[in-house]
Structure 1
């Protein structure tokens, strides 16, 4: 399964990208839609909102009065944090249920407006950010949502900045042209990157460029600091306490990252046989974490992994015990 995070500022065009990815075959999980569902009438989520903010946030039919709730929390950091504490855990639980129900070979796209603000980027093998010029976004909010220019800019200011979103992006889609141009860009991305990425994951092998680079061939690419930082964060998130240090190696050679065991990997060893067993267990745990983050093993190698992503063939080496194979 290839899990992709999709985000973008308000009125940037993220919904159009999400719809096109779904048309191409992705399983789409829309966080905004889930956020509405978890506070639908009769849910414990709605009950929690009423407990926190009072019955004044209910409409006459017993449903959530979103404008009334918005008036309460907008501009009040404490109230917004309370609301997020009610909504976000329920949204994540429902998203996890839907991911578990998806086919093993699915491309799952999670449309999360606040992906950056909630620190979820490293949970995905790939992050897509949709951006658009600020004035174009303001114009869309005025024309399509009936907002004033002042309100539109306030909504934009309350979200992460373009620079903050770009820092977590593996792919930046700029929506500064026609709908057809953006749709064509999504199609190219699906054909040239998502398709090969998913195929490599299903085969349990790195992408062609990652495999070649791990074997010393010239892949025509060297990772920059941002790519390596995102790869390291994904591996740490995947492995949890089983992963210790994730070190960036010097220079343009391979591997790019070396992963060491953490405090919970392996175990106490009473003799040489126990030590070998513990080392093997540690290596297996690390290999599983690295693979789950999107970096499958290089066939025939001892401890080398490389990215399934064809555009970012990062090479990772697993350190086993006191040695680096």
Structure 2
């Protein structure tokens, strides 16, 4: 399966997106529904809340009086912590039950209001953010929920900022206008990105990328950071670092629109364990287990790796799992920093890549690039020695 995190600020309209996804076949896990379910009458959750906050939090019909609970639980951080200690484990356990019950090939959409605030974005294959400007949200909250403008502003101010949401958004859906337009945009995301993504994961197939050079995209570093956060989570303890490498890591350099990331492991014996986890997380294996040796380092053991690509058609990526201190692991970092430092070499490399891209095919592309890499390897090593280069902290 693939897991999609769906979120947005209060009043943004994420319920419209959730309905659209469900209508097209999504398996929905709604955190708000679960939060109500685990404290329904007769549950251990409600009993624990009564014990902690008193019988005054129970309404006449035996259900939880949420305003009364809020009046007691949100008076200070200590009481809020008591509330969270009761409800969060119950919500987590129920969420896990629903996840394990999902079909193996499902597109699981988890509607989580506080996904950004709780730092949950790396847990998902993709994060969809629904956005609406503040004034639109305030008007909707007044119309549909009877919320006073001052209360609406306070609720909005207590949530993540638009900048914080943008930092984790793989898909940004603007709902400042007609809700019908939002549903249409969500349907396109489902049909053109989520369904192909799920099919690629099931088939362990890498999403194709075009051998075309495009101008530098200032959003590449942010996209790399999102992918790197996921890779750190899924790679496990054997991975000691994840770095953005390759052309998209060099500001201003034209490149293929493919993010390259290097996952560093401590030992060669760790390669296969990390590789297996990446496959499960939506990064199918390429089958490449070594890089082309360069320079005077001829020992094949210095160039071993595990290659992976992204199954997401909306974000092509290459993932290189390499051993700490190996020739290929070090060269990837040195070459990136060399290009950043040397404008003339950037221009030279860009010209080589444009010539290679005109072939339109992978093998022909590499046949043009590899001789230049071989010739450049000693230059990179010399530059690193002269500048006292050291590997960046991971």
> Shared topology, TM-score over 0.5?
yes
C-alpha offsets along residues 149-170 of structure 1, whole Å, 9 cap, x if unaligned? Answer: 1111111111111111111110
SS in 1 for 2:41: coil
Is 2:129–2:172's contact at 8 Å kept on the other side of the alignment?
Answer: yes
The runs of 5 or more residues in structure 2 that have no matched partner are: 249-254, 291-305, 330-394
Secondary structure of 2:247's counterpart equals coil
Aligned in 2, Cα 1:258/1:228: closer, same or farther, shift over 3 Å?
same
Match of 1:258 in 2: 262
**Is the 1:4–1:127 Cα contact (8 Å) retained in structure 2?**
yes
> What corresponds to 1:296 in structure 2?
284
Counterparts of 2:213 and 2:188, CA distance in 1: 21
Number of the residue aligned with 2:202: 202
Q: Over aligned residue pairs, what C-alpha RMSD do you find?
A: 2.1
Counterparts of 1:1-325 in structure 2 under 5 Å? 1-74=1-74, 76-209=76-209, 217-218=211-212, 220=214, 224-252=220-248, 256-261=260-265, 279=268, 281-299=269-287, 302=290, 303-320=306-323, 323=326, 324=328
Name the CA distance, whole Å, in 1 between partners of 2:201 and 2:191: 15
Range moving further from structure 2, 164-173 or 241-250: 241-250
User: Matches of 1:76 and 1:151 in 2, distance apart?
Assistant: 19
Contact 2:236 2:274 in 1 (8 A): no
Q: If the length of structure 1 is used for normalisation, what is the TM-score?
A: 0.87
Q: Deviations over 1:38-69 (max 9, x none)?
A: 11122221122122212111112322111211
The structural deviation recorded for 1:305 is 0.8
Unaligned runs of 5+ in 1: 267-278
8 Å CA contact 2:224–2:259 kept in 1: the answer is no
**SS in structure 2 at match of 1:40:** coil
Secondary structure (helix, strand or coil) at the match of 2:316 reads coil
Greater Rg over alpha carbons, structure? 2
For residues 89 and 238 of structure 2, what CA distance do their matches in structure 1 show?
A: 25
Q: Which has the higher contact order (CA 8 A, sep 6+)?
A: 1
| Post-superposition CA distance 1:140-183 (Å, at most 9, x none) | 11111111111111111111111111111101101011121011
SS of 1:256 mapped into structure 2: strand
CA distance 1:152–1:196, shift in 2 (3 Å): same
Determine the C-alpha separation between the residues in 1 that align with 2:158 and 2:52.
Answer: 22
Q: Distance in 2 between matches of 1:300 and 1:241?
A: 23
Q: TM-score, normalised by structure 2?
A: 0.72
Deviates more, 1:117-126 or 1:50-59: 50-59
